[in-house]
Amino acid sequence: MANGGAFRHQPRPPSTGTPIADSRPSPNSTPSGPTTMQNRSHAVMAQRVEPVESADDFPTPPWATRALFEHVLGDKAALSSQTCLEPACGAGHMAKVLEEYFGEVHASDAFDYSYGKVRDFLTRPYPANAFHWVITNPPFRLAEAFILRASNVAQRGVAILARTVILESVGRYERIFRDMAPTKFAPFVERVPMLKGRLDPKATTATAYAWLVWEKGNRTGPQLIWIPPCRKRLERQSDYPDPRTSPTFDDSPLASSQPKPTASGDEGRAAEMAAGGFAGAPGGE
């Protein structure tokens, strides 16, 4: 298979990953001590910091992974013959969705979640161009190292789900974005609730998330793509492990294959704008 080009970037810094050892805490362990109230303001939630020894296990709601394919990446049909690596798979909530689109998915994590291989992506690197795509939601404190490592492992592209504040660091700009800007930056207009160690369809959050995509061979420069409201359309009952606490969803095939109702007048124009559908301009899908 031909290489789709190479990312341009600064030399990679030393890995900040922590080798696996028996003394490491389990992914679901919690620190002991007095209970404190959580400040849920946007500023504080956007700056959430996990301890260095933490597994930083904040599962990705499956609908947020489907949004990458339904609203950001193009040519979904081509993915069925391609491979994908999810190197921070946790319990597999993202990897299972990737299997809906890719012909072959490999999943691994530095911690043992009884899903995928136990392999630290930063201390046990994969060969160059080992997979067509690397797609993951890495621990935020390791996001920079994951991006740089993934740029070497991926043959076609890299997609990283991260808090939008990832763009705000001078250091990250100098080490990554100045010379290796993402080809697509796709923020969610809806909130994507992520809780430590579990999925909860009733959860809320003050934190904003976005998909950052690097496509090898794409020389068009960064493209901003708003991910329109899509949770109701992409969420499924089977996404949640405990149906007793989950709302009722439609598990039918994605509505993208179903005709959408038409709108007229101001409602129609507002709907087009919300979906990025300006006349003569590319939409979000």
pLDDT of residue 161: 98
Confidence of residue 255 (pLDDT cuts 50, 70, 90): very low
Q: Is 238 helix (H, G, I), strand (E, B) or coil?
A: helix
Task: Choose the weakest-confidence range: 56-60, 147-151, 203-207, 215-219.
Answer: 56-60
Which among 88, 87, 18 has a CA at the least distance from the CA of 53?
Answer: 18
**CA separation for the pair 106, 127 (Å, rounded):** 14
Domains and CATH numbers, the chain: 54-239+254-274 (3.40.50.150)
Of residues 55 and 42, the one with the higher pLDDT is 55
- How do beta strands 104-109 and 131-136 pair? unpaired
* Average pLDDT over all residues of the chain: 77
Say if residue 212's pLDDT is above 60.
Answer: yes
Confidence of residue 73 (pLDDT cuts 50, 70, 90): very high
**CA separation for the pair 1, 23 (Å, rounded):** 42
Confidence of residue 24 (pLDDT cuts 50, 70, 90): very low
Say if residue 223's pLDDT is above 90.
Answer: yes
Return the structure tokens found at 201: 């369809």
Dihedral angle of Cα 68, 56, 23, 13, to the nearest 10 degrees: 70
Rg, Å, the chain Cα set = 19
Residues above pLDDT 90, as percent of the chain: 56
Say if residue 56's pLDDT is above 80.
Answer: no
Say if residue 152's pLDDT is above 60.
Answer: yes
Q: What is the pTM of this model?
A: 0.71
| Cα angle 209, 45, 158; round to 5 | 25
Of residues 153 and 272, the one with the higher pLDDT is 153
Output b/e per residue, 215-252; b: 16+ Cβ within 10 A: bbeeeeeeeebbbbebbebbbbeebbeeeeebeebeee
Residues above pLDDT 70, as percent of the chain: 65
Return the structure tokens found at 237: 């009952």
Dihedral angle of Cα 69, 144, 140, 40, to the nearest 10 degrees: -100
Helices (H), the chain: 42-46, 62-71, 76-79, 93-98, 143-153, 170-172, 231-234, 265-274
Of residues 156 and 248, the one with the higher pLDDT is 156
Confidence of residue 229 (pLDDT cuts 50, 70, 90): very high
pLDDT of residue 254: 55
pLDDT tens for residues 102-136? 999 999 999 999 999 999 999 998 999 999 999 99
